Amino acid sequence: MRPDRIHCLAVTAVLAFTGPIAAAALMACGTENAVGSGDPSDNTVIDIQAAPTGLRWQPFQGVDLPMTDQGPHRSDGPVVTGFDRSPAGAAVAAAQASVRVSIAAESQWPQIGARMLAPGAGRDAWAVARAQISITAPITSGAPRLLGYVITHYSPDATDVDLYSSHPDNSVTRHHTTVIWQHDDWRLTLPDITPSSRPAVAAVETTPPELIAFQEH
């Protein structure tokens, strides 16, 4: 596979969340792999439709991100960690990590990659591509807005979350993400980039009826 093809695909992953504003951003331009322990009891009834509680919003690089009772519970510069091992905690972790890896500034992305992404070929390709992109300032206009999510698969060790966002041109996108439980927290796992990789982000006509909406802000 040609290096330029790898870079092109990886850059798509880097800027997945931004959708229509990705082109503008382009123009501006060693972690252990151990799964955490302590699975919830087999007797626990898990409601994947339970929405996050205590929701409020905090901006990061010009995009509002959800802060909830289910996490993040800790903040260290551009990195946020400490998400509940629950469906809502996984969804908020997916939203936080996917946006932060997409729009982090030069001084921020190495820390975010090391602490909010799961190790693997996807993270390696992302790091190579991200090092070649210059993002020096927050988004000042046309920022996407997170609408909500749908959990398509949940387990205490891995959860698939489809994130829905609206854009200034009134389009809506669906971003398929996966988070896995490592080192007592959820980490976003980026897909291994191959020529047959399905795009993580797709335009959709509208949000699905089962959407768990983030409240208006």
Q: How far apart are CA 39 and CA 213, in angstroms?
A: 27
How confident is the model at residue 169, as a pLDDT? 93
pTM to 2 decimals?
A: 0.83
Report the sign of the C-alpha dihedral through residues 195, 201, 204, 210, in that order. positive
CA 57 to chain centre: 16
How confident is the model at residue 45, as a pLDDT? 79
Domain coordinates in residue numbering, the chain: 3-31+52-213
DSSP single-letter state for residue 71: B
Q: How far apart are CA 93 and CA 83, in angstroms?
A: 6
Confidence of residue 126 (pLDDT cuts 50, 70, 90): very high
CA 113 to chain centre: 11
pLDDT in tens, 78-105: 999 999 999 999 999 999 999 999 999 9
* Residue 197 pLDDT > 70: no
Are the CB atoms for 127 and 119 separated by under 8 Å? no
* Residues 140-149, mean pLDDT to the nearest whole number: 93
